Amino acid sequence: MSPSDAVDAPISLKRHLEQLKRLRGADAKAGAPPRLAEVKAWQTARLARTYADLRADARYGRPTEFFLDDLYGTKDFSHRDDALLRIYPVLVHTLPDSAVESAALAIEVDALSEELDRRLAARLESGPLDASSYAKAYRESSTREERLRQIELIDRVGRQLDRLVVKPLVYATLKLMRRPARLAGMQDLQAFLERGFEAFRHMGGAEHFLATIGAREKAILNRLFSGHPSPFSD
């Protein structure tokens, strides 16, 4: 992590948390595209198929589940967003700079994904959601550069977490936050942070895991933008 990254991370974290609040907070829900939940469910099912082998692997199963369920699931994450925004001053003053940068990257990819999901859902034509209709809306609602950035951010989040989990001070600090989090009504947020940390600690090195995700997602991206008839198949 460069010195400029350490300085910018708290600012980036707050900016993207505020972006998420605008996108999926209580005031934004009424204006959400009507097929947004359908898009999220379809994408979650697609990711589960694409990474079924990693999910079934003893080494990679837990981080795969964390990615699919906690980072990109169908549940409502607005309460987690609010909790992170409320606890933001504590996070940036308690956690090491590297941990704050990890959180900032994770929230940035979450905000970008939410924005892209909403645009895709808004472009869907009437009729069933399948690979063909999804691919058309995907191309019309985003650029190749935006989608590449989404994949690259996911890789950066994973690599930052991989470096973070070997630092005993970070883990000790995270455990010390359990009681304050419970007293503040933020036990769900605390559990989310611990699940991510434990998933990557359990993996014992994320190089193959992240390389696999990057290679598969970039291949799918290329097939989607080229109009391939079966973009989600090898």
The whole-number pLDDT of residue 63 equals: 92
The whole-number pLDDT of residue 226 equals: 97
Task: Give the structural domain span for 147.
Answer: 3-225
* 43 φ, ψ (degrees, to nearest 5): -65, -40
- The average pLDDT across 108-137 equals 95
Q: Which of 16-30, 89-103, 127-141, 180-194 is predicted with the least confidence, judged by mean pLDDT? A: 180-194
Total tally of structural domains belonging to the chain: 1
**Do 41 and 207 form a contact (C-beta atoms < 8 A)?**
no
The whole-number pLDDT of residue 234 equals: 66
What is the band of 73 on the pLDDT scale with cuts at 50, 70, 90? low
Higher pLDDT, 27 or 9: 9
The whole-number pLDDT of residue 186 equals: 65
In a domain, 202, yes or no: yes
* 124 φ, ψ (degrees, to nearest 5): -60, 135
The whole-number pLDDT of residue 146 equals: 97
In a domain, 10, yes or no: yes
Higher pLDDT, 99 or 189: 99
In a domain, 231, yes or no: no
What is the band of 58 on the pLDDT scale with cuts at 50, 70, 90? very high
In a domain, 83, yes or no: yes
In a domain, 153, yes or no: yes
For 144-195, the pLDDT digits (tens) are 999 999 999 999 988 988 888 888 777 777 777 777 767 666 666 677 778 8
Q: How far apart are the first and last CA of the chain?
A: 36
Top-ranked range on mean pLDDT: pick from 10-19, 175-184, 198-207, 218-227: 218-227
**Do 100 and 10 form a contact (C-beta atoms < 8 A)?**
yes
The whole-number pLDDT of residue 4 equals: 44
The whole-number pLDDT of residue 112 equals: 93
In a domain, 233, yes or no: no
Task: Output the pTM of the full model.
Answer: 0.84
In a domain, 7, yes or no: yes
In a domain, 173, yes or no: yes
